[in-house]
């Protein structure tokens, strides 16, 4: 968890004082947003709102107050759909534009929220500003004007837009840069004033968008919320392919067919390993139970949960704490080969020279979750995820233009980590920016634009995230701490023990970080912790809001404080272990 880096903070602080970075007293305090009222007519908005550069409003609809997503109440609002910068690619001949949706409440709180979406984008999710695994509220329900976009291409399930160099850049960062001024201008035309305060938030690739915006567009936003940020997404995709080849060595079955992007089933020239058989659900449940057995009490409470994940890494040992099979695999043990693979995957992807290609992963009880298996075994072999994204979006030049017959599993199995992995850093011909340029945040020192104007940055990340390493996010935060001497006054990282990718796992994954961020930005009240609760059986009548992986030994609505790194929620010694009231961040 790189806690050793914290010892360098004192030296870093002195350096920044000498270079004029300043301390808490140098940071501005932003004023609170003031409400406004929708002054126009939604039905005639398309014709009345003009002069938006490169923008076409395609529809406007009045939406009555009610419920929209996950039964969250929404106020009456105007739904606006449109597109920006439409063009025909001179590379692949496809038509591209930056599609968007805005929802403008009739009773407006004076704030703008850019909803950064996940995956490879390509579709416009409802612009409600809902975040977290079990959202209990949303930005729209709070009165924000909210924008959602497709990030510059119209292909959600396939990565082939990566053949177009401008679509790559729009996806990486430019869509945010183009949409933000337009959205603020539209808001000003509708409400008679620009937003007093602007926020951007998302999870997964949306979290990556958030960290990119924090370093590229710190002058445009006052508060940024980054969840499970895949800020090194090209590296993470390469690591997923590396994992496939690791799992293949212990797979117990093979696959004779694979699917193209269109869903056509194709017979493989030769059977390939079915990596989903590398670790069965029973084996992963067993591994999770051994992690809990070794690390449960480290936070002061024996409660079937590992709260001190950092301490667990020093305590848990794969070789000694997991039984070694002496006979057939039956779910109660691992073979020696499986232990080697498990250790390799957690220590991080490497090339044949042993050089790290991506970060390590912490051992976490969330390995038992279905989401862990989906990311490690399915998404890592599917055309629309890691193989396709690596081949068409991240490698330069793209690996192949044979989109109709591209298959994910053969690509993952044949990927060369010595010669192919470096291509995420490459440029070539019309591809003038590498993936590691257009996909990743600028250096952490660029956060000073956001910081110096009084902006705030909150990050949260599940420690059991199987695709974007929590350890990588910790390394990023440690770099911020070495760059600035006043980090806690404007940025915080909140680990979520047990949580997988954005949600799920044996975790308290229902929380609202929008209100704490607004309170910090506009009132100067830094969140000492964020309340979170579990979503076990019986906590909701909406199936999508139930987390079936909440352990039966817990209260279905167990609560915990999420503590800012490196603090841990520690039991106070008395009281209900399922109640956050009996824990303190220490």
DSSP string spanning 313-334? Answer: HHH--HHHHSPBPSSS--SS-B
DSSP string spanning 179-222? Answer: HHHHHHHHHHHHHSS--SEEEEEEETHHHHHHHHHHHH-TTT-S
Kindly state the DSSP code that residue 544 receives in the 8-state scheme.
G
Other Cβ atoms less than 10 A from the Cβ of 34: the count is 12
For residue 567, give both structure tokens.
């603090």
Just list the catalytic residues: 204, 465, 501
Strands 223-227 and 197-203: parallel
Other Cβ atoms less than 10 A from the Cβ of 200: the count is 27
Q: Which residue is it, tokens 């919320």?
A: 225
Rounded Cα distance, 316 and 339, in Å: 13
The β-bridge partners of 224 are: 200, 457
Helices and strands counted in the chain (H then E): 17, 19
Please work out, in degrees rounded to the nearest 5, the angle formed at the alpha carbon of residue 475 by the alpha carbons of 222 and 309: 105
Q: What is the dihedral of CA 458, 464, 468, 469, to 10 degrees?
A: 90
DSSP string spanning 12-55? Answer: HHHHHHHTT---GGGS--PPPP--EE--S-GGGHHHHS---TTE
439, 394 Cβ separation under 8 angstroms: yes
Rounded Cα distance, 316 and 324, in Å: 15
Residue 583 backbone phi and psi in degrees, to 5 = -130, 150
Of 531, 479, 476, the C-alpha closest to 509 is: 531
Kindly state the DSSP code that residue 471 receives in the 8-state scheme.
H
Half-sphere exposure of 322 (CA within 13 A, CB side): 26
Of 543, 566, 503, 240, the C-alpha closest to 366 is: 503
Rounded Cα distance, 365 and 499, in Å: 9
Alpha-carbon distances of 474 from 505, 523, 555, rounded to whole Å: 20, 27, 30
Alpha-carbon distances of 336 from 34, 219, 283, 405, rounded to whole Å: 63, 53, 13, 37
Rounded Cα distance, 495 and 459, in Å: 8
295, 312 Cβ separation under 8 angstroms: yes
463, 496 Cβ separation under 8 angstroms: yes
């Amino acid at each position: 968890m790189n806690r050793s880096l914290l010892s360098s903070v004192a030296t870093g602080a002195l350096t920044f004082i000498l270079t004029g970075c300043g301390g808490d007293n140098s940071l501005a305090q932003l004023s609170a947003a003031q409400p406004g009222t929708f002054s126009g007519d939604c039905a005639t908005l398309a014709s009345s709102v003009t002069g938006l550069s490169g923008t076409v409003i395609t529809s406007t609809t009045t939406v009555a107050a009610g419920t929209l997503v996950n039964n969250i109440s929404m106020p009456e609002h105007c739904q606006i759909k449109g597109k920006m910068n439409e063009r025909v690619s001179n590379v692949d001949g496809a038509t591209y534009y930056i599609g968007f949706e805005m929802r403008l409440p009739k009773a407006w709180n004076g704030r703008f929220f850019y909803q950064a979406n996940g995956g490879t984008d390509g579709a416009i999710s409802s612009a409600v500003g809902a975040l977290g695994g079990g959202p209990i509220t949303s930005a729209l329900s709070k009165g924000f004007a909210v924008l959602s976009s497709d990030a510059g291409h119209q292909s959600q399930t396939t990565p082939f837009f990566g053949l177009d160099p401008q679509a790559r850049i729009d996806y990486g960062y430019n869509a945010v840069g183009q949409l933000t001024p337009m959205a603020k201008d539209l808001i000003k035309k509708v409400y008679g004033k620009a937003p007093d305060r602007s926020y951007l938030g998302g999870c997964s690739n949306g979290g990556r968008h958030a960290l990119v915006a924090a370093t590229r567009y710190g002058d445009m936003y006052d508060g940024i919320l980054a969840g499970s940020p895949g800020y090194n997404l090209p590296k993470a995709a390469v690591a997923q392919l590396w994992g496939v080849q690791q799992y293949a060595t212990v797979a117990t079955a093979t696959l004779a067919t694979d699917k193209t992007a269109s869903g056509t089933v194709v017979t493989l020239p030769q059977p390939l390993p079915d990596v989903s058989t590398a670790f069965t659900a029973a084996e992963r449940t067993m591994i999770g139970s051994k992690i809990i057995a070794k690390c449960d009490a480290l936070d002061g409470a024996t409660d079937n949960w590992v709260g001190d994940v950092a301490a667990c890494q020093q305590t848990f040992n794969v070789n000694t704490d997991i039984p070694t099979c002496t006979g057939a695999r039956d779910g109660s043990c691992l073979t020696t080969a499986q232990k080697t693979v498990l250790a390799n995957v957690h220590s991080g992807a490497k090339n044949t020279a042993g050089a790290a290609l991506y970060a390590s992963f912490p051992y976490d009880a969330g390995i038992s979750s279905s989401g862990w298996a989906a990311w490690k075994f399915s998404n890592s072999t599917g055309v629309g995820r890691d193989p396709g994204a690596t081949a068409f979006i991240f490698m330069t030049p793209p690996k192949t233009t044979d989109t109709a017959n591209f298959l994910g599993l053969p690509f993952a199995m044949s990927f060369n980590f010595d010669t192919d992995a470096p291509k995420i850093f490459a440029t070539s011909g019309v591809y003038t920016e590498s993936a590691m340029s257009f996909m990743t945040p600028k250096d952490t020192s660029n956060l000073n634009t956001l910081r110096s104007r009084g902006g705030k940055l909150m990050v949260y990340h599940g420690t059991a995230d199987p695709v974007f390493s929590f350890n990588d996010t910790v390394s990023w935060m440690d770099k911020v701490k070495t760059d600035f001497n006043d980090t806690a006054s404007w940025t915080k990282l909140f680990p979520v023990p047990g949580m997988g990718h954005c949600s799920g796992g044996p975790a308290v994954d229902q929380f609202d970080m929008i209100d704490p961020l607004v309170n910090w930005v506009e009132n100067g009240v830094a969140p000492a912790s964020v309340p979170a609760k579990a979503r076990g059986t019986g906590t909701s009548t909406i199936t999508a809001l139930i987390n079936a992986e909440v352990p039966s030994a817990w209260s279905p609505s167990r609560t915990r404080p999420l503590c800012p790194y490196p603090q841990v929620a520690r039991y106070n010694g008395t009281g209900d272990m399922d109640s956050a009231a009996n824990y303190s961040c220490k």
